[in-house]
A = this chain, B = another copy of it.
Amino acid sequence: MIIDSHAHVVLPAESYRYMANLVSSRANPVDRAKVPDSAIRAAAEGLLRMMDSVGTDMQFLSPRPYAQLHSIKPARVTELWTRHVNDVIHRQCEMFPDRFRGVAGLPQYRDSSPENTLPELERCIEQLGFVGCLLNPDPTEGDCAPPPGLGDPFWHPLYRKLVEYDVPALIHSAGSCQPREPYTLKFINEESIAVISLLGSSVFEEFPTLKLIVPHGGGAIPYQMGRFRAWTTRLGGTETFDQKVRKLHYDTCNYAQEALELLFKVVGPDRVLFGTEKPGTGNARNPETGRDFDDLKPVIESIDFLSEQDRRNIFECNCRRLYPRAFRNDA
């Protein structure tokens, strides 16, 4: 089974109309979202055709990260928009229960405590049957001083809830307010910041069963390992940096074979989930291969140092292990 653990919902045009109105009116007054089942279904069917074209059996759908509006004022916009997108994801999951699972967006808002996101997380997990959530390390979207790093107790209320539900969080920033740093690069930089903050903290002593996934191959960290190996050695301590990085999980949403090879070597294939974000940044034809950049299954199949079991772990088993709620109705 091929599970794409990192994918984002394809929204119907009616959703964007709702967003446009929410942002323009600043949610005052609040319009009602009106999205007919036919539009929800058509958007999902377009996505299913894409999945079929590359052999993906199932996608885990979360909100499109850069369009999460985490720093748009006032907070009510973020809150309503997040709820709307989660509802669309839920409706698509209900329509195609063999092909989709829901990963919740959280209504994170600027430097507010993540406590404000717990009701929506609860709703998504308990009522909508979602299996995980996104976690944005910088909901200010670069507009002002970011909240403390993910290693800080600031985030513990959310971690406590994730552990209680036994659901993982996919660490993924949203937009970027700084012209010098497009959102697609901010994703990468925020991942590096998240890894270093988490691995320098006592989070995994306090929450030993917390499951966090760093997408896009872990930002810069697998490439910059030497730097942090040396840094960790100089600071002393009992664990090497290579041991530390295995406390986190990663995904394959990195569109170059040499980079994926480095990732597998550095963190181990038991720590990496298949993810392509198709259709997303990689949705363009690679002239060298004639396939889309985000068609990663053949790339992973061609890496010869991976065993058959390694590949099964990457494509399916690691994901099943991390997301127990995704398959609990299985025989």
**Residues on A facing B (Cβ under 8 Å):** 137, 144-146, 148-152, 178-182, 184-185, 188-189, 192-193, 196-197, 216-217, 219-220, 222-227, 229-231, 233-234, 254-256, 258-259, 262, 265-266, 281-287, 293-294
Q: Determine if A223 and B193 form an interchain contact, defined as CB atoms under 8 angstroms apart.
A: no
Summarize A's interface: helix, strand, loop or mixed: loop
B225 touches A259 (CB 8 A): yes
Can you list 7 contacts pairing A with B, beta carbon distance less than 8 Å?
Answer: A144-B145, A149-B179, A216-B224, A220-B220, A226-B259, A234-B281, A258-B262
Our pick among B144, B185, B293 for the contact of A226 (Cβ within 8 Å) is B293
Query: What residues on B are CB-neighbors of A285 within 8 Å?
Result: 233
Residue A223 contacts which of B145, B233, B262, B282 (CB distance < 8 angstroms)? B262
Shortest CB distance A303–B (Å): 14
Tell me whether A146 and B230 are in contact (CB under 8 A): no
Quick one: which of B137, B146, B188, B266 contacts A220, CB cutoff 8 A? B188
Q: Given A189-B192, A234-B284, check contact A226 B255 (CB 8 Å).
A: yes
**A197 touching B180 in the complex, CB below 8 Å, given contacts A188-B192, A220-B220, A262-B258:** yes
CB-CB nearest in chain B for A288: B229
Bound complex: CA of A240 vs CA of B286, how far in Å?
11
- The 7 lowest CB-CB distance pairs between A and B, nearest first, are A226-B255, A149-B180, A220-B220, A226-B256, A223-B223, A230-B293, A233-B284
Residues from chain B with a CB closer than 8 A to the CB of A226 are 254-256, 259, 282, 293
> When the two chains form their complex, are residues B196 and A192 in contact, meaning their CB atoms are under 8 A apart?
no
CB A286 to nearest CB in B, in angstroms, measures 7
A254 is contacted by which of B178, B180, B185, B224 (Cβ under 8 Å)? B224
Q: Tell me the number of copies of this protein.
A: 2
Q: Give bound CA distance, A226 to B217, whole Å.
A: 11
State the CA gap A188–B218 with chains docked (Å): 14
A161 to B11, CA, bound (A): 50
Residues of chain B within 8 A of A185, CB atoms compared: 192-193, 196
Specify the chain B residue showing the minimal Cβ separation from A224. Answer: B188
- Check if A223 sits within 8 Å of B179, measured CB to CB: no
Could you tell me the distance between the alpha carbons of A137 and B225 in the complex, rounded to whole angstroms?
A: 23
Q: Is the CB of B193 within 8 A of A230?
A: no
Q: How far is the CB of A94 from chain B (nearest CB, A)?
A: 32
**How close is A291's CB to chain B, nearest CB, in angstroms?**
12
Known: A196-B182, A220-B220. A227 touches B188 (CB 8 A): yes
Tell me the complex Cα distance, A287–B241, Å. Answer: 12
Chain B residues near A149 (CB-CB < 8 A): 179-181
CB distance from A236 to the nearest CB of B (A): 10
List, in ascending order, chain B residues with CB within 8 A of A231's CB.
184, 281
Write out the residue numbers on chain B whose beta carbons fall within 8 Å of the beta carbon of A224: 188, 216-217, 220, 254, 256, 259
